[in-house]
Amino acid sequence: MAEILAGLSAVLAWQVLGFLAIGVCLGAVFGALPGLTATMGVALLTPLTFWVSPEQGLAMLLGIYCGTIPSGGIPAILINVPGTPASIAASWDGYALTRKGQAGLALGINALASTTGQLTSIAFLAFLAFPIASFALRFGPAEYFGLTLLGVSLMAGVSGGHVLKGVLSGTLGLALALVGLDPMTAYPRYTFGMSEFLDGISFVPVMIGLFGLGEVLVQISDRQSVRASAAAAIGRVLPRIADAKRMARATFSGAAVGTMVGAIPAAGGDIGAVIAWEQARRTSSDGDSFGKGSLSGLAASCSACNAAIGGGMTTMLTLGIPGDAVSAILIGALLIHGIQPGPLLFANNQAFVFSIVFLMIFASLLIMVIGILGAKPLAKVLSIPAPWLWAGIIVFGTVGAYALNNAVTDVWAMYVAGVAGFLFRKTQIPLGPLVLGLILGPLMESNLRRALILSRGDWSAMLTRPILLVFLAATLLSLLWPLIRARRGAAKRSQGRIPDA
Amino acid sequence: MRHADTICGALLAALGCGLIVSGAAFPAGAGGLPGAGFFPQAIGALMALLAAALLLRGLRGRSEGPFSIANMREVAVIAALLLAYLLLWGSGWFVVRTAVFLAIMLSLLGQRWIPALGYASALAVLVYLAFDAGLNVTLE
């Protein structure tokens, strides 16, 4: 108890809270601009923290981290351009709500579900850090392969009714992920002799192109319908109590999935959000509305991608293992301030751990307030004349893609993906599975091949691993679920036809 | 025949076959381990199979008329403008180049020249300040 109070009092200083507020506001800007990521924000501002106390420095960096992910959902909802990779799933239902004239409600749900996800994962961090982290540590290459296989199997689920085209789109994503050096032998594949392709195709420019530029070209093509929808109302921001009750299950299950996935090194909010969205769709009685403006779908994805923050922090603080690029930079910042993350941190400096917990709580509450108060002004972006909005998306997308690596090839990748995204939309090929394939392809291949090296090429040896078996069973269920659902539906319909006795 | 499905199916089937053939040329794995060509071939086979199904569905499906895109001319002009902007990337005068590109784009989309030029210039300056001056991304 004394450590909790010490941790709380350390962060209640106005300087610490001031740095936290600056960090959250900067994070909100970074998240809302496609191409600027949490990693970039934390990396750029880490040097500024050298001249302040550990609490103040960490407050700003955690503020950026906790502010970026929720605000990544804002452009995803308003203009169908995810601000961060973690917000891709938020665009599926969020943008559909905007087109229905409920942009305010979608932004309100984004703010509330994001904070719920973050607070739930922080509670896990505070009370269950060690069990979660030790579970995550049991993941070897075979288990990672199982997780990515489960992710890939969700392609059909995120295809929005076009299952065959969706799975094809996913295999195209997997094929694009093959470009670059072979992960095991470093043999160049599909690089066409160009050194720019040795690292593979950058994911973020492709995402900006598919969702940003592709959407702009579609709107230019469908100008009449855009003019009609521009007049749509923003609507209320806060959900009704009945809606909140209906979303509660999806929100909390999304938070649990996001925390667990986030705790696994290298598996972040992007994967967690897709898994949570699909899980919520399957277990919902209203699963057919997912992808068409479902409040529960939006809540599940927003909650999960934010819960991954707490999950990642859990692994980082308890084991000293960075779960993603942001955690790696945070570890560096902590080391500079003389703090070594790992089991000893919990034994020797519990007050500091609780300081982190309280900083994250304050950051998530602050971003919720910003999100709710800012929803209506932000939604005004929809009243900007469409061509002006398109110009903004194109120029920010272009420079954002370039800024990632200062490479013009990333801008080429974005433009090619933009044209592809336009043609895909026009031919009703879903984009979600392509992105899923592009993210998961390299992870799936490298982990399967690592697992086979460890088992000396014996495929059956992998089947002795219980966590992998659970993932394989979940994958099988995921693939068979559409058939099971169809059979159950047919059975219900046939029961309905039987006359009452 | 459904044109879009047929064309997509044929293109992706060809890509899948291409992956299978090219994957065979990559070094094989040693000691029963998959080599660099294993995943390209597996993905290629899956893609070819699914694309063949889409192709068949397209050929057998009821015709929805020829595949066409509304306002195709405007889309093509904007795409060409984007290509020109990209080809001139790094040639200097970022703010001026971007402002001119955006102003032309806005005027092509029916906006009046003077407000378009004003907005385009403001946007170009804002992007330059945010990225070059603020984030140290060299824009030239």
Tell me if A258 sits within 8 A of A269, measured CB to CB.
Answer: yes
User: Hey, how many other C-beta atoms are within 10 angstroms of the C-beta on A189?
Assistant: 21
B contacts of A213 (beta carbons < 8 Å): 82
- Give a yes or no: residue A489 inside a domain: no
Q: What is the band of A160 on the pLDDT scale with cuts at 50, 70, 90?
A: low
Asked whether residue A107 is domain-assigned, the answer is yes
Asked if A442 contacts A435 with a C-beta cutoff of 8 angstroms, the reply is: no
Q: Tell me the pLDDT tens digit for each residue of A56-92.
A: 888 999 999 999 999 988 988 988 888 888 888 888 8
Residue A195: inside a domain? yes
pLDDT value of residue A224: 57
- Interatomic CA distance for residues A1 and A332, integer angstroms: 29
Task: For residue A487, tell me if it sits in a domain.
Answer: no
Looking at residue B31, its pLDDT comes to 78
Predicted local distance difference test score (pLDDT) of residue A11: 80
User: Which of A268, A215, A281, A250 is closest to A482 using CA atoms?
Assistant: A281
Give CA angle at B23 (B21, B27), nearest 5°: 130
pLDDT at B22: 95
State pLDDT tens for residues B64-95.
665 666 678 888 999 999 999 999 988 888 99
Looking at B25-37, list the stretches that DSSP marks H as alpha helix, in order from N- to C-terminal side. none
- The boundaries of the domain holding residue A339 are 2-481
Q: E strand or H helix at A189, and its extent?
A: strand A188-189
Contact B132, B139 (CB under 8 A): yes
- Is A168 close to B51, i.e. CB distance below 8 A? yes
Neighbours of A134 (CB within 10 A): 13
The rounded distance, in Å, linking the Cα atoms of A296 and A152 is 22
- For residue A262, what pLDDT is reported? 83
The per-residue pLDDT for A499 is 41
Distance CA A215, CA A217 (A): 5
pLDDT, tens digit (0-9, with 9 covering 90-100), for B29-38:
887 789 999 9
Is the predicted pLDDT of residue A52 greater than 90, yes or no? no
Q: Is B45 on the interface with A (CB under 8 A)?
A: no
Average pLDDT score over residue span A434-460: 87
User: What phi, psi does A181 have (nearest 5°)?
Assistant: -75, 140
Residues B18, B45: contact at Cβ < 8 Å? Answer: no
Residue A375 lies in a domain: yes
pLDDT at B129 over 50: yes
- Residue A386 belongs to some domain of the structure: yes
Instruction: Establish if A493 belongs to a structural domain.
Output: no
Quick one: A347 exposed, middle or buried, by C-beta within 10 A (0-12, 13-18, 19+)?
Answer: exposed
Q: Does the residue A466 lie in any domain?
A: yes
Tokens of B1: 């025949």
Q: Say yes or no to pLDDT of A35 above 70.
A: no
Whether the predicted pLDDT of A493 surpasses 70 = no
Chain A residues in contact with B19 by the CB 8 A cut-off are 175, 178
What six digits make up the tokens of A71? 């605000």
Looking at residue B85, what is its pLDDT? 94
Q: Is A80 left (phi over 0), alpha (psi -120 to 50) or beta?
A: left
Chain A within 8 Å of B51 (Cβ-Cβ)? yes
**Inter-chain residue contact B8 with A165, CB threshold 8 Å:** yes
CB spacing of A175 vs B79 below 8 angstroms? no
Arithmetic mean of pLDDT over chain A: 84
What pLDDT is stored for residue B106 in this prediction?
A: 93
Q: Which of A174, A154, A474, A158 is nearest to B42 (CA)?
A: A174
Percent share of chain A, pLDDT over 90: 23
pLDDT grade, residue A479 (50/70/90)? confident
Kindly determine whether residue A449 and residue B34, on different chains, have CB atoms separated by under 8 Å: yes
pLDDT of residue B67: 60
- For A90-123, how does the pLDDT look when each residue is reduced to its tens digit (9 = 90+)? 888 999 998 888 888 999 999 999 999 999 999 9
Work out the pLDDT band at A495, boundaries 50, 70, 90. Answer: low
Is residue A32 within 8 A of residue A72, CB to CB? The reply is yes
Span of A133-147, A177-191, A449-463, B8-22 with lowest mean pLDDT: A133-147
Tell whether B50 is within 8 A of chain A (Cβ).
yes
**Token pair of B36, please?**
């660099």
Integer-rounded Cα radius of gyration of chain B: 24
Which of A189, A399, A419 has its CB closest to that of B26? A189
Quote the CA–CA distance of B71 and A223 in Å, as a whole number: 8
Residue B135 has pLDDT above 50, yes or no: yes
For A427, the closest chain B residue by CA position comes to B4
Rg, C-alpha atoms of chain A: 22
Q: Residue A180: what are its φ and ψ, rounded to 5°? A: 120, -165
- Check residue A420 and give its pLDDT: 92
Q: Which of A192, A394, A419, A450 to mutate to test the interface with B (most CBs of B within 10 A)?
A: A394
Which of A176, A399, A436 is the mutation pick for testing B, counting most B CBs within 10 A?
Answer: A399
A181: which strand partners?
A: A188
Model confidence band, residue B2 (pLDDT cutoffs 50, 70, 90): confident
The mean pLDDT of A13-18, rounded to a whole number, is: 89
Q: Residue A500 has what pLDDT? A: 37
Name the minimum distance, in Å, from the CA of A184 to any CA of chain B: 8
Cβ separation of B40 and A175 shorter than 8 Å? yes
Q: Is the pLDDT of residue A148 over 50?
A: yes
- Count of A-B CB contacts under 8 Å: 143
Q: Residue B57: CB partners within 8 Å, gap ≥ 6?
A: A164, B2, B5, B9
Q: What confidence score (pLDDT) does residue A449 get? A: 92
Does pLDDT of A232 surpass 60? no
- Return d(Cα A191, Cα A188) in angstroms, integer: 6
- Closest to A148 in 3D by CA, of A250, A273, A275: A275
pLDDT at A227: 45
What is the number of structural domains in chain A?
Answer: 1
> What is the predicted pLDDT for the residue at A121?
92
Do the beta carbons of residue A200 and residue A411 sit within 8 Å? Answer: no
CA distances from A157 to A97, A98, A305, A488, B33 (A): 20, 22, 18, 17, 32
68-97 of B, contacting A, C-beta below 8 A: 69-72, 74-75, 78-79, 82-83, 85-86, 89-90
A396:B127 CB<8 A: yes
- Please give the pLDDT value at position B51: 94
DSSP string, A17-57: HHHHHHHHHHHHHHHHSTT--HHHHHHHHGGGGGGS-HHHH
